[in-house]
Chain A
Amino acid sequence: MRRTFTIAVTALLLSVLGIATASAQDETEGVQGSITTQDDEPVPEVVILIETPDGEVVGEAITGPDGQFQLGVPGPGDYQATLQAETLPEGLELRNPDRATLEFPVNSGQVRTLLFPLGDGSAVAGGSALWRTALQLFVEGLKFGLIIAMSAIGLSLIFGTTGLVNFAHGELVTLGALVVWGLNQALGIHLIPAVLIGVVIGAFAGAAQDRALWRPLRDRGTGLIAMLVISIGLSIFARYVFLYIFDGRARPYGQYAVQSAWNIGPVRITPKDLTVMVLSVVVLVAVGLLLQKTKIGRAMRAVAGNRDLAASSGIDVEKVIMYVWALGGALATLGGVAFGLAESVRWEMGFTLLLLMFAGVVLGGLGTAYGALVGSMIVGIFVQMSTLVVSPELKNVGALLVMIIILLVRPQGILGKKQRVG
C-alpha cells in the first residue's frame, strides 16, 4: 500500500512535468550508435555490452555491416556500455582506451547515441590529442553557438523593442523545427524547400502572435511582469500542443540525417554541420546588414533605442514591432531546423534551448542584436569546451555558472553600456 501511494504521488508529479510515465511500457528507450574508422569505414561485428550500474547485463549490441548498432533497454535509468575491445579488427583500437566504458542516463522515450571513436592508436594520449580534442570541441561549440545565436537574436530584439522577456520564444524555435519536419516528412518535400517555406510560416507565426496577443496587451497597458507571466503560460500551452500533436518521440529530418564525417585538417565535421555553420554565418551577416543598412533595420534599432523619438521621425512603431516579431519567428525557425539537424526534432527542444538563449542574450547585453550574437557564441563554445574538464552531462551547468558570474561582475553584459542612474 505504501508503495502504491509512493508510485501514485510520483506519477502525478511526473505527469505535471509532461513526462509520460505510461511510455515506460512502450519500450522506446534504447541505445544506438555506429562504429567507424577514422576514414569512416564501417566496422562490423563489434560487441558492446550494456549493463545496469549494478552490473546486471541488459544485453549485447553488435554492429551490422554498416557499422550501426542498436539495442532497447528496459526503461529510463542509468546504464553503462562497454566496447569489447577484443572484438575490434586488428590494428584498430579506441582513440581513448580510458573511454571503453561509458556511463550515461537514459531518459524516458530517449534513444541514447553512444560514441566510441576509433583511432589507429598512434594519437593516443599526449598533448597533441588534447589539443585536437579541444579544437574539435571548439568547432562544435562554434556550431552550437551559431544555432543559439540564430534563435536568440529574435528574443533580444523583442526585448529591446517592447521590453518583453519572452519565455515562449523557445516554442517559436520548436514550432519552426516541427513545421519544417511536417513539410519534410509528412508531405515529402525535400528539406531545402521545406526550410524556405518553414521560414515564411515562422515569420507569419511571429507576426501573428504579436498582433493577436502582445499588441492588444500593450494597448491595454499591461505591465511587463504580467506579460512575462503570460508568456510563461503561452510557453506551457504551446509545448503541450506540440506534444499532443507530435508525441514525445525524437524525429530526424528526411535528408542529411546520417552522414559520414570529413576530415578538415585535424577537425572532423559532417557535411551537414559544415553547411549549417556556413549558412548560419550567411544568415547572421544578412541580419546584420538588414539591421545596419536597410530602412526597416534602422527603424528597428531606432524603436529599440528610443520609442518616442522613433515615432517622431515618422516611424510606425507598432508596425516595426510586428516586423521584429516576424524576423524573430523566421530566425527561430532556422535555429530550430539547425538544432533539429544537429540533434533531433523534439517537442521541448526549444524549451531546452531557452535558458541557453537567455544566457547568451544576458551575457551579450540585453536588447542588442550584436550582444546576443557574441553572447550566444560564448555560451555555445563554453558548453562544448567545458566537456574537456567536466563530464558532458554537466556541460550546461558550466555555461549557466559562467553566465551567473559574468552577471555579477559585469551586470550590463559584455557589450552592454552602463545605464545612467537617476
Chain B
Amino acid sequence: MPDDNTPVASDDEVVAGDPSPGIDHEAPSLGELLPTPAGRSGLDPRAQAAALLDVEPVPGVAKPDAALVVDNVRKLFGGLKAVDVDHVEFQRGVITALIGPNGAGKTTLFNLLTGFDTPDTGTWQFDGKELGGVRAHKVARAGMVRTFQLTKALSKLTVMENMRLGATGQIGERFLAAHMPWRWRSQEAEVTTRAEGLLKRFKLDHMTDQFAGTLSGGQRKLLEMSRALMVAPDVIMLDEPMAGVNPALTQSLLEHVKSLRDEGMTVIFVEHDMDMVMDISDWVVVMAEGGIIAEGPPASIGENRQVVDAYLGAHHDEDLTDEEEDETSRPVALAVKDRPAGDTTAPAPDEFLLQASSVIAGYVPGVDILKGCNLELRDGEFIGIIGPNGAGKSTLLKSLFGLIPIRDGSVTLRGETITSAPAHKLVAMGVGYVPQINNVFPDLTVEENLQMGLYLGTHPFAERLDVVCTLFPLLGQRRKQSAGSLSGGERQMVAMGRAMMSDPSVLLLDEPSAGLSPALQDEVFVRCREINAAGVSIVMVEQNARRCLQVAHRGYVLDQGTNAYEGRGRDLLVDPKVIELYLGTLAKVD
C-alpha cells in the first residue's frame, strides 16, 4: 500500500557532489549495453506512440500493438476488493503511467502481473504468451521485469555485485560450474562491462565497489532500475520510481525512463508525482478501488471528471455545504463550544495547545525523514497537514505521538515537554491518535474496540459510549460484530470512535479518508468537523487536500520533510504555489 511512511534516504549528498544530474551522454547507449531481444528490433517508439493518437480514451480499449493484455484479473483481500480489472492493454514501446489514489490497487496489480501474488481469477498474455500462474522468476526471464516501491538493495553486496546479479543465463550460477572459474570468467567480464556502462549512464560509477547498503534512497532507486536493465527486459515495470527522490534527481530519473522507451523498451510505471506522469507518459491508465476507471493520453486525463474526483477528492469544486452537513450531522451530546460548526476562522491566538519545533526524526538510523518540522495547534483549532507523497506527513504525526523517536527538536503539550514521550502517557494526557492502516483490532468486536479506547478508565464506559454512538450511530448498530468483518469506511468510524472514547482534547488523524469512496470520504470529513465543533482540537494528515483544507481552519503544506507553506485553509486552497507543489501540472489542465 503506498503511503508516505516509506523510509527513504536523503539525496542531499548526491546532489551536492553532482551539480548536473542527468544522463551521461558519453556513456554507451542502452542499445549497445543490452542484447536486443527479438521482439524489440526495429521498433520505432515515435510510431508506437503515434499509433495511440487514434485510440479512443475509454477504459479497456484495444491498442494497435499491445505488449501486455490483461483480462478479468481479480483479487480479494478478506472481502476487500483489491484488484478488479476487466480488460486492459498496454501498448508496446511506449511509456504507460498507472495512477490512482492510495489503495486503488496499483501495486497489487503489479504484484499479480509479475507473479509475486496470485489472483483469484484472471488471465494475461505478454507477447501472446500466457503468463497467468507463471512463477515470478519465470515472468522476469520472459522479459517482464519489475522494481519495487520500497527499494530492495542487496545491502551487503557491492553495487557492482548487485548489477551482475541481474544478468540472465549465467553459466557460473550453476553449482558445479561455479567451481570452475575458467568456464564463467569470460562471461563475467562481459557482464561486468555491461554493468559498468549502465552504472556510468546512471551516474553510479563512482560507487561501484561500495556496499549497496550505504547508498542514499535516490541512489538505491537508480541502482534498482539499472539492475533491472541488466536482465535486458522487453517490459520494465517501475513501482513509484520517484517516491522520496530529491527533486534535483527526479529530472535525471525522468530522462532515464524516457531513454528506456526511446531505445525500444515498454515502460509501465506507478507514480504519484503528476508532473512526472504528465511529462513523460504517452498513455495514462487510472485505477480506483481496484478497477480501471479511465485511460487515455495524459492531456485527456486531466479533463476527465471521474479521474479528478477519484484522485483529488469528490466534487472538489463544491463545498461541504451547511445543508449537506445538516443532513448528515446528528445532535452531538457534548457541550459545543461557542464557535459554530463550519466557521473556518482561527480562534484567537492564546497559548498553544500542541507545539512542535524543529522536529527531526526518521526510521532508519542516519536517515532523517523530517528535517526540522514546525507545527502549532491552538485550543479548539482544526489544522490540516497536506503535501506530496513522501513529504513526511505521517512521520510527523507519528513522532508527535511518540511512536518513532525524535532525534532533535521538541514537542510540548500545554507548555509541558512531551518530546518522545511514550504513546500511552500521551493518551493519559488527552491525546488521541488514529493510525492510517491497521486502525482497528480486527479480532475484537466493535464494542471491545471501543472498550480498548477507554483502557485507562478515565470515564464511565456507558457515558462515553453514548457520546461516541451519537457521533457514529453505525457503531451502536454494529456493537457485537467483529471489527475485521467491517468495510473500510466502517472501520474508520470504529477507529475514530475508539480514539474518542478517552475524551481527548487533541485528536491526531492520519489520512482518515484513505481508501474510501468519495461519499464515505465526505462522511468522514463531516464527522471530523463535528468532533472539532464539540471542542476537540484536531491535527489531520490528508491526501485529499481540497476537502482537508475546506474543513480545517489552518493548513500546513509539507515538502521533503520541511514546512513549505502554511496559512488559512481556504487561502491555501486557492494558492497557486500550493496547487503547483501538491497537484502538479494536473491542476493547470483542471
Contacts and interface: CB of A to CB of B under 8 A. Distances in A.
Interface string A373-417: 000000000000000000000000000000000000000000000
A389 to B, nearest CB: 38
Contacts of A316: 422, 424
Contacts of B441: 301-302, 305-306, 309
Contacts of B428: 314
Interface string A144-169: 00000000000000000000000000
A6 interface: no
A299 B454 CA distance: 11
A173 to B, nearest CB: 28
Contact of B444 (A301, A312, A314, A422): A301
Contacts of B499: 312
A311 B423 contact: yes
Nearest to B402: A311
Interface in B165-191: none
Contacts of B448: 298
Interface in A290-337: 295, 298-299, 301-302, 305-306, 308-317
Interface residues of B, number: 36
Contacts of A309: 435, 438-441
B78 interface: yes
A298 B452 CA distance: 8
Nearest to B456: A314
Contacts of B77: 420
Nearest to A320: B424
Interface in B417-468: 422-424, 427-428, 432-435, 438-444, 448, 451-453, 455-457
Contact of A306 (B117, B438, B453, B455): B438
B107 interface: yes
A16 interface: no
Most chain B C-beta atoms within 10 Å of own C-beta, residue among A306, A310, A315, A422:
A422
A310 B457 CA distance: 14
A154 to B, nearest CB: 20
A313 B452 contact: yes
Contacts of A299: 455
B108 interface: yes
Interface string A41-84: 00000000000000000000000000000000000000000000
B401 interface: yes
Contacts of B432: 312
Given A305-B444, A306-B441, A314 B116 contact: no
| CB-based closest 7 A-B pairs | A314-B427, A311-B423, A312-B433, A314-B456, A313-B452, A316-B424, A314-B455
Given A305-B444, A316-B424, 9 more contacts: A302-B444, A311-B402, A311-B424, A312-B403, A313-B452, A313-B498, A315-B424, A420-B77, A422-B116
27 contacts: A295-B455, A301-B441, A301-B444, A302-B441, A302-B444, A302-B455, A305-B441, A305-B442, A306-B441, A308-B403, A308-B438, A309-B441, A311-B402, A311-B403, A311-B422, A312-B499, A313-B502, A314-B424, A314-B427, A316-B424, A317-B424, A420-B78, A421-B117, A422-B107, A422-B108, A422-B111, A422-B117
